Structure 1
Amino acid sequence: MNVTVHGPVDGDPLWFVMGWGNTPAQPAVGWLLDTLADAGFRTRAVEIPTNVSRFEREYLDPLAAVVDEEPAADRVLSHSTGGLIAAHAIDAGVLPERAVHLSPWWGLHPSQRIPFRVLGALPTSRELTSVEPDRETLGERAEPSERDPVGLSPSFVREVRRAQSSLPAAGDGEVAFCTLTDGLVGVDAVGERLSADRIRLYDGGHECFASTGREAIVADAVAVLRDGPEALE
């Protein structure tokens, strides 16, 4: 796992477990990191592998190792696949319970259920299906960035489905931000894991930080990171 540090040296420590394929070099992610820096956070952004064959060995264990090497933090931000990883890491005591999950991938989108079942049945860890979501799916302000092509492997699909099926109960400090029109994650899983008063809905794409109105959305996320779920009331 690659970890980069952003924000003032004396800022409040914050872990950010990014989504599948996200990097700080992407304009929308960079905007989010700059906004967090302006809010006074010293953010450690975790870039996750896009192809794994074992969720615990290649996601949870490396995350625990990097967290153990860094200064303690009492809040975490996550996005998409990072939200799935963070949920398990919080339950394991690796990450703090005060967490804001942006469009967490806690369940499959309806369009993924049959293809993932078929793909996951193949006995290989090779990336077989390329993935490049469009601006309509991600958000109106999403911009392309230079990066190596990424794809889905059967082993990754199997591990995501397994992690989703064993998702732990949410802690008292966890909240989620999501859009009901998300084309990449199953928002029904968000409603199953969290009560309505711990969910902040927004209009836009899968990446709230690449959506119109992102300033207000992220301001609310910052408030929750600062003050806990009560900030949504």
Structure 2
Amino acid sequence: MRRVDYGGGDDRIVFVLGWGNRPEHDGVQWLIDRLTDAGYRVSAFELPRTITDFEREYLAPVQSFVDGLDDYRLLSHSTGGLVARHLDTDSSLQTRTYLSPWWGFHADLQNPLVSLAAKLPVSTPILPAETTRAELGSLASDAWVADAPDYAAPTFLREAKRAQNSLPPFDDRDAVFYNPSDPIVSGPTIEDHTPESNRVAFSDGHELFNSSARDDHIDAVLAAVRDGASAL
């Protein structure tokens, strides 16, 4: 798993990106710039686009990194939110903030064909997974839309579903930013897992950092990263 570090602050943020995101993508950089401007050192993790084992390929590399930190703040987006929910944490974790966590398949993926395909022991990306700018967020760059995965491997969906089915209890100190009408992940599942006082809704796509509403919410995101759900 690839990690890229930004900034030189004393307080570290571990940022686990979503499936397909790269640290260099414009929207991700927009958010990283806001975090480094606030004085943080950001360690951004880019998830592999194809896996066969959630714990070994997604969870273990991040777990190994945070286990070596004296203190840190955790930020995650989408599939990264699935990883962040599963991390074994202790008192070194200061806050945990989720952006559009993938805790449940969108209604469009909850059908017999997807369920059957996810059972195939195939690690080659063969299942259509193309996303549009409207789905990602209206500020998504041409470069990101072009680089976004067009296909997903059955093993990736299998491992994501398995991780979703074994989510640890929600920590009521955590903050969640989400789109109730998210076109990619399940908004209702996020609401089922998150108390109303711990969540903030936004509009325009799946990615807050590419949403036209991002400037309206960045101060709240920074406050949540700093102080947790109590800042909402």
TM-score after normalising by structure 1: 0.91
Q: Structure 1, residues 56-108: CA drift from partner, whole Å, max 9, x if none?
A: 11111121223345x4333110000000010001xx22782621100000001
Report matched runs for 1:187-198 at 5 Å: 187-198=187-198
The match for 1:159 is 159
The 1:149–1:164 alpha-carbon spacing in structure 2 relative to 1, beyond 3 Å, is: closer
Partner AA of 2:13 in structure 1 = L
Report how far residue 118 of structure 1 moved.
2.5
The match for 1:66 is 65
Q: What are the ranges of 5 or more consecutive residues in structure 1 without an aligned counterpart? A: none
Q: 2 CA distance for matches of 1:54 and 1:5?
A: 25
Contact 2:3 2:45 in 1 (8 A): yes
Contact 1:81 1:105 in 2 (8 A): yes
Report how far residue 130 of structure 1 moved.
4.3
Report matched runs for 1:143-182 at 5 Å: 143-145=141-143, 147=147, 151-182=151-182
Q: What are the ranges of 5 or more consecutive residues in structure 2 without an aligned counterpart? A: none
The match for 1:202 is 202
Whether 1:142 aligns to 2:149 is: no
Contact 2:16 2:81 in 1 (8 A): yes
Q: Structure 1, residues 116-167: CA drift from partner, whole Å, max 9, x if none?
A: 3132122211111243311100111001326485531111111111100111
Q: 2 CA distance for matches of 1:11 and 1:151?
A: 39
Report how far residue 47 of structure 1 moved.
0.4
Q: Structure 1, residues 174-223: CA drift from partner, whole Å, max 9, x if none?
A: 12100112100011111111100001011221001101121221221110
Q: 2 CA distance for matches of 1:97 and 1:113?
A: 35
The 1:25–1:74 alpha-carbon spacing in structure 2 relative to 1, beyond 3 Å, is: closer
**Structure 1 residue matching 2:72: 3-state secondary structure:** coil
Contact 1:97 1:171 in 2 (8 A): no
| Percent identity (aligned) | 37
Contact 1:14 1:73 in 2 (8 A): no
The match for 1:34 is 33
- Per mean C-alpha deviation after superposition, the further-off stretch among 174-183 and 80-89 is 174-183
Contact 1:26 1:144 in 2 (8 A): no
